[in-house]
Amino acid sequence: MTDTNKDTVLEINAIHKSFGNLEVLKGITVNVDRGEVVAVIGPSGGGKSTLLRCATTLEKVDSGKIVIGGDVLCETKDGRISYCDKKLEKEIRSKFGLVFQNFNLFPHFSVKRNITEALIHVHKKSKEEAEEICRHLLAKMDLTEKADAYPCNLSGGQQQRVSIARALATNPEIIFFDEPTSALDPELTKGVLTVIKELAKEKMTMVIVTHEMSFARDVADRIVFMDGGVIVEEGPAYELVTNPKQERTKAFLAGY
């Protein structure tokens, strides 16, 4: 029976993506409902980051359909991919946040300006409103005293928490994380994962590409295992990690 109460934030339907002769995504279909945390796992080169880049408009797909927050980003019509106009694409971009593995902060901006810049100049918030949002988020990230610091004066873990604060600042419908802890040592990783766990408790809709299997098992609602540009297996997080059905998934998880 269909659950009519479900509110789907992200719909990815049969998307294909090639770079030259290399087909990286081979017909990927995945949906994410509001309040759901989906972890995407798999070996390097399996297509995980490309999937995220396509969902967040950083790469264009060759065919298929992507819908974010009810708006169609792209779809195949008459055998050709068609993207929405620039105005709608800008609106769609405002519906998601993106946290990269290498932080992507502006090095010449203070922490406060990294967070408030887009709020003021893209989302047209007043300086006062933007700074209030910034204060609230820095307190949430335990970084209140770092508002005037520059990225070079922060640890990797602190920089990543600033990145998360910046992604949250626009009140997005969904946040994408691309290996958010891969550039961090284990001690700093713990702090960033704690922040993401808190967001999960608050029912923030998230898609997280990660190699942290215990984190994926404990925090995600669902895990998608990708390899070779296809989804090999997906299911409830704890069940997939502890009792995978596919031999390829078993072999991958045996390495953890």
pTM of the model: 0.92
Beta bridge partners of residue 81, listed in sequence order: 76
Beta bridge partners of residue 15, listed in sequence order: 28
Instruction: Kindly report, residue by residue over 28-73, the tens digit of the pLDDT.
Output: 999 999 999 999 999 999 999 999 999 999 999 999 999 999 999 9
Average pLDDT over residues 137-159: 95
Instruction: Kindly report, residue by residue over 203-232, the tens digit of the pLDDT.
Output: 999 999 999 999 999 999 999 999 999 999
Beta bridge partners of residue 208, listed in sequence order: 39, 177
Cβ(217)–Cβ(238) under 8 Å?
Answer: yes
Instruction: Among 103-107, 145-149, 205-209, name the one with the lowest average pLDDT.
Output: 103-107
Q: What is the DSSP string of 160-226?
A: HHHHHHHHHHT--SEEEEESTTTTS-HHHHHHHHHHHHHHHHTT--EEEE-S-HHHHHHH-SEEEEE
How much of the chain is in helix, strand and coil states, percent to nearest 5?
Answer: 40, 30, 35
Q: Estimate to the nearest angstrom the gap between the alpha carbon of 154 and the chain centroid.
A: 23
pLDDT at 118 over 80: yes
